[in-house]
């Protein structure tokens, strides 16, 4: 074999190798590609001044819609989930997946964990990243110092009887003066003889028969006296007529 034929053979083999490499490289990259992380809001390692309402993640390939294959979860500083479990692929851009967050999240480092299913080759990928919430906390109100308030000065106060001394005689008077209820109870506890004393009114019902008999006796006695007086006068008138 001449050198010219050898060179031509080598050139042909090299050309075939380059052609095969040119064809095989795009195919191999397509087979090995995944729907990997591309961009996100909040960004990786970003420190935000207020808690975001949702997390948005863009991937390098469109995602295949299959239940349970594309997930996006957010965990708080205590490793507890703080998302609303509503991860969804965007209808207009299938490379975008979003998830909503709980409200009023505290300060700290948050971890986003994702898992994807590529719509190009059906392969899966997963990963995670972090961002930090560092909201400005309200300043504590300044407490007044001891020197800020004036110290009251002592003033001479004339001697006055203490309230306890004035209240004691009044209490003694109130205790010494019996109430109406106490008097009533004392009167009710007196003996029958003492309780009946006072203004006595005789009972007329029991003495009425006696008075009636006494009146009848006096009337009969008066009639008897009148009869005795009339008897001498009658005898005198009869003797005068006979003479």
**CA distances to 73, 112, 126, 137, 241 from 79, in Å:** 11, 11, 18, 23, 161
Under CATH, to which class is 37-133 assigned? Answer: mainly beta
Sequence ranges of the domains in the chain = 37-133
Task: Give residue-wise pLDDT tens across range 146-199.
Answer: 555 555 555 555 555 544 444 444 444 444 455 545 544 444 444 444 444 444
Low-confidence spans in the chain with pLDDT less than 70: 1-3, 5-9, 16-33, 138-208, 231-243
């Amino acid at each position: 074999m001449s050198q010219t034929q050898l060179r031509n053979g080598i050139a042909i083999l090299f050309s075939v190798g380059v052609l095969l490499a040119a064809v095989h490289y795009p195919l191999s990259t397509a087979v090995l590609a995944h729907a990997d992380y591309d961009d996100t809001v909040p960004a990786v390692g970003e420190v935000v001044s207020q808690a975001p309402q949702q997390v948005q993640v863009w991937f390098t390939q469109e995602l295949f819609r299959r239940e349970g294959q594309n997930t996006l979860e957010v965990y708080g500083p205590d490793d507890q989930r703080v998302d609303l479990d509503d991860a969804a692929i965007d209808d207009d851009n299938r490379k975008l997946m979003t998830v909503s967050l709980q409200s009023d999240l505290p300060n700290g480092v948050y971890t986003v964990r994702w898992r994807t299913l590529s719509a190009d080759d059906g392969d899966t990928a997963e990963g995670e990243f972090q961002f930090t919430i560092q909201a400005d906390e309200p300043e504590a109100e300044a407490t007044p110092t001891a020197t800020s308030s004036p110290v009251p000065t002592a003033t001479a106060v004339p001697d006055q009887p203490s309230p306890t001394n004035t209240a004691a005689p009044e209490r003694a008077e109130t205790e010494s003066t019996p109430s109406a209820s106490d008097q009533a109870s004392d009167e009710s506890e007196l003996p029958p003889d003492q309780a009946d004393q006072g203004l006595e009114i005789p009972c007329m019902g029991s003495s009425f028969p006696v008075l009636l008999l006494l009146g009848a006796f006096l009337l009969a006695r008066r009639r008897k006296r009148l009869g005795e007086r009339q008897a001498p006068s009658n005898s005198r008138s009869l003797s005068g007529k006979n003479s």
